[in-house]
Amino acid sequence: MRSRSAIALLLGATLLVCGPLALAQDKPLVMKWGIVLQPEHPFVLGMKKTADIVSQKTSSRIQIQVFPSAQLGTGKDMVEAVVFGSQAMVTDGPAMISQWAPRLAILEAPYIFRDIDHIYKAMRSPIGQEMVDELINTRGLRPLGYPYYGVRHLTANKPVNRPEDVKGMKLRVPEVTMLLEMAKAWGANATPVAFAEVYMALKQGVVDAQENPLPTINSGKFYEVQKYLMLTGHVMGPHFHTISDKLWKSLSASDQKILQDAVSEGVALSNDLLIKQEQSLVDEFKKKGMQVIVPDVEAFRKASMGAIVKLEDKWGKGLYERIAAVR
């Protein structure tokens, strides 16, 4: 990681300096946008729509290159690269981005949001804006959009009805404190694995289980290596489409508007596709051979609160309750 950080620092200026220079030389500004998810995921389809719109509206003066499937590195690597300036944009969850702004992790806390409307009301509220401003002002990461990531559920190769059934299970979670602590609160052996390696880790028995929204389970083909789907619904939240704030400020006001509007159109597409997939994928997974279990969700909710208590000093006592109460 240190070597990657050093490379990012050395190369970072190249991306940010080449923008204005490239425009002055009548060469396109090429922006790399990375994500760990596969090309079939609704997020990637929305990102590609954004790239097409920007290219069309700027007559290819600005070109966005979308790199799915962790081609540019892990989520942590890519967030770091955007902070240092060697990558233009990255899409990931607030818990991953919270390595740079710790309070953001609460946006992926278990059972904090009621529904999609609640997510967007919270992001537009003074609490949400305060956290976003902190990310921009202290870390130079500017969110341009908040695509809905879906509701996270548990998959495994044995049936799970209550947290007790997860005890000792090697549960893959992202390398972020919030989800690691949640898994531990359930009694699992929390095991961080890079997203690009999850399929093989499940297939080879390196981990026993994983948790993700239905569209991610589908695009990752995890149904091929997991027998049971437990509808725990333990996390619902947004992801962040973020750009280097330094790069953003180097753009003209008109180009900023083109990019912002294009991101909004891409988010609308990905949200529509993702919601439709959430409505249909349970039945599709059944047809593919998975057994679907409706577990004791209230037991999982109660167990998850252990992680909230443990981490509330990190984001401020009472913040979980304030966000949960947003109407």
Query: Over the stretch 243-276, which tens digit does the pLDDT of each residue have?
Result: 999 999 999 999 999 999 999 999 999 999 999 9
**Residue range(s) in the chain whose domain bears CATH number 3.40.190.170:** 2-148+238-277, 151-236+280-324
pLDDT at 1 over 60: no
Tell me which of 186-200, 210-224, 237-251, 303-317 is least confident: 303-317
- Alpha carbon separation from 49 to 19, 52, 55, 64, 268 (Å, rounded): 22, 5, 10, 10, 10
pTM value is 0.91
Residue 85 has pLDDT above 50, yes or no: yes
pLDDT tens digits, one per residue of 25-38: 479 999 999 999 99
Other CB atoms within 10 Å distance of the CB of residue 282: 14
Looking at the domain covering 2-148+238-277, what would its CATH class be?
alpha beta
Give the angle subtended at the CA of 27 by the CAs of 67 and 7, to the nearest 5°.
Answer: 50
Q: Return the closest-CA partner of residue 323 out of 156, 148, 107.
A: 107
CATH number for region 151-236+280-324 = 3.40.190.170
| pLDDT level of residue 10 (50, 70, 90 thresholds) | very low
- Residue 321 reports pLDDT greater than 50: yes
Listed in order, strand segments (DSSP E) in 208-301 are 209-213, 228-238, 240-244, 291-293
Nearest CA to 269 out of 162, 185, 148 is that of 148
pLDDT higher than 80, residue 23: no
The pLDDT value given to residue 271: 98
